[in-house]
Chain A
Amino acid sequence: MKKGVSIILLLILLWGVVAALSEMPFGKAKLEVAGHYTDYGKEDTGAANIVTSVVLGYRGFDTLGEVTVLFLACIGLAVVLSTLKKQGCGARQTPSLILNTGFRFLFPLILLFGTYVFMHGHLSPGGGFQGGAVIASGFVLMYLSVPKIKRLNHFVSTLFESVGGLIFLVIGLIGLKLGSQYFLNNFLPNGEFNTLLSAGIIPVIYIAIGFKVGSELSKIIDVLLEESE
Chain B
Amino acid sequence: MSFLQNYAYYTGAFGLILIGLFIMMTKRNYIKIIIGLSILETGVNLFLIAVGYISGGTAPIFSRSGITAEKMVDPVPQALVLTAIVIGVAVLGMALALAIRLHKHFGTLNLLEIREQRW
A81 to B96, CA, bound (A): 10
A67 to B, closest residue via Cβ: B86
Residues from chain A with a CB closer than 8 A to the CB of B54 are: 27-29
Contact A77 B94 (CB under 8 A): yes
B3, B18, B90: the one within 8 Å of A22 (CB) = B3
| Interface residue tally for chain B (C-beta within 8 Å) | 45
Contact B74 A69, beta carbon cutoff 8 Å = no
Q: How far is the CB of B80 from chain A (nearest CB, A)?
A: 9
A2-B26, A48-B62, A123-B63 given as contacts; is B55 within 8 A of A73 (CB)?
no
Render A50-89 as a binary contact track against B, CB cut-off 8 A, 1 for contact.
1101110001001100100110111011001100100000
Q: 8 Å CB contacts to B: which residues of A76-124?
A: 76-77, 80-81, 84, 123-124
Q: Are B51 and A30 in contact, with the CB atoms below 8 A?
A: yes
Which of chain B's residues have a CB closer than 8 A to the CB of A30? 51-52, 74
What mask results when residues 73 to 111 of chain B are scored 1 for a CB within 8 Å of chain A, else 0?
Answer: 011101100110111011101101110110010000000
Please tell me if the beta carbons of B26 and A3 are within 8 angstroms of each other in the complex: yes
- Take A39-B69, A69-B87 as given contacts and tell me if A31 and B79 are in contact as well, using a CB distance cutoff of 8 Å: no
Asked if A38 is an interface residue, CB under 8 A from chain B, the answer is yes
On chain B, the residues within 8 Å of A51 by CB distance are: 60-61, 75, 78-79, 82
Distance (whole angstroms) from the CB of A212 to the closest CB of chain B: 11
Sample 11 A-B pairs with CB under 8 A, ordered by A number: A13-B21, A21-B10, A34-B76, A37-B76, A51-B60, A72-B90, A73-B89, A73-B90, A73-B91, A80-B98, A81-B100
9 nearest A-B pairs in the assembled complex, by CB-CB distance: A73-B90, A27-B55, A50-B60, A6-B25, A54-B79, A34-B74, A38-B69, A50-B75, A48-B62
